[in-house]
Amino acid sequence: MAPAFRIRAPETPDEYRACYRLRWELLRAPWGQPPGSEQDAFESRAWHRMAITPEGCVIGYGRLHRESEDTGRIRYMAVRPEWQGQGVGTALLAALESAARAARLRRIRLQARTSAVGFYLRHGYRDLGAGPLLFGVIAHRKMEKVVSGEEVRREA
């Protein structure tokens, strides 16, 4: 049986458009934000990963960009509700962490919606405290994970 989805980088303009559409539909539209608000200045220099079905439907997405010499930031993690709980988010996160290690980043930071904090804690992220209140209503927590370097060896 073929896998239900695979993780890879978007390759074509249509695939990027599908990724941005998913980001907007899941992370911006429910709060009345306009199309385009799901993108930022880091798009062209980020590592993009999407979860895609054999039929070509983008069902999940995550992005990593370099924040400093040794630190990356994950943004825009999103999985279609009907695919949540089926390993899509875990696979996306693993792919982004792999990209971070390949880029010789030492740590990854992110701001998780409070509803996703448990997911990140299960994957080894530390809760660093309160983050921003997006659109005045969506509470976030600052989170971090060391993905390479001496601290990882000591923790192993």
Residue 1: the pLDDT is 58
Residue range 143-149: average pLDDT?
91
- CATH number of the domain at 130, please: 3.40.630.30
Distance CA 125, CA 128 (A): 9
Task: Say if 1 falls within a structural domain.
Answer: no
Residue 136: the pLDDT is 76
pTM: 0.90
Residues 6+ apart with CB under 8 A from 124: 145
Residue 148: the pLDDT is 86
Least confident of 39-48, 50-59, 145-154: 145-154
70-99 pLDDT tens trace: 999 999 999 999 999 999 999 999 999 999
Contact 86, 51 (CB under 8 A): no
- Angle CA(70)–CA(89)–CA(80) in degrees, nearest 5? 130
Task: Say if 120 falls within a structural domain.
Answer: yes
106-125 pLDDT tens trace: 999 999 999 999 999 999 99
Give the domain extent around 94.
Answer: 6-155
Residue 2: the pLDDT is 58
Asked if residue 67 has pLDDT above 90, the reply is yes
Asked if residue 155 has pLDDT above 60, the reply is no
Give the closest residue to 110 by CA, choosing from 132, 147, 141, 79.
Answer: 141
Task: Say if 100 falls within a structural domain.
Answer: yes
Asked if residue 156 has pLDDT above 50, the reply is no
SS3 sequence of the chain: CCCCCEEECCCCHHHHHHHHHHHHHHHCHHHCCCCCCCCCCCHHHEEEEEEECCCCCEEEEEEEEECCCCEEEEEEEEECHHHCCCCHHHHHHHHHHHHHHHCCCCEEEEEEEHHHHHHHHHCCCEEEEEEEEECCCEEEEEEEEECCCHHHHHHC
How many domains is the chain built from?
1
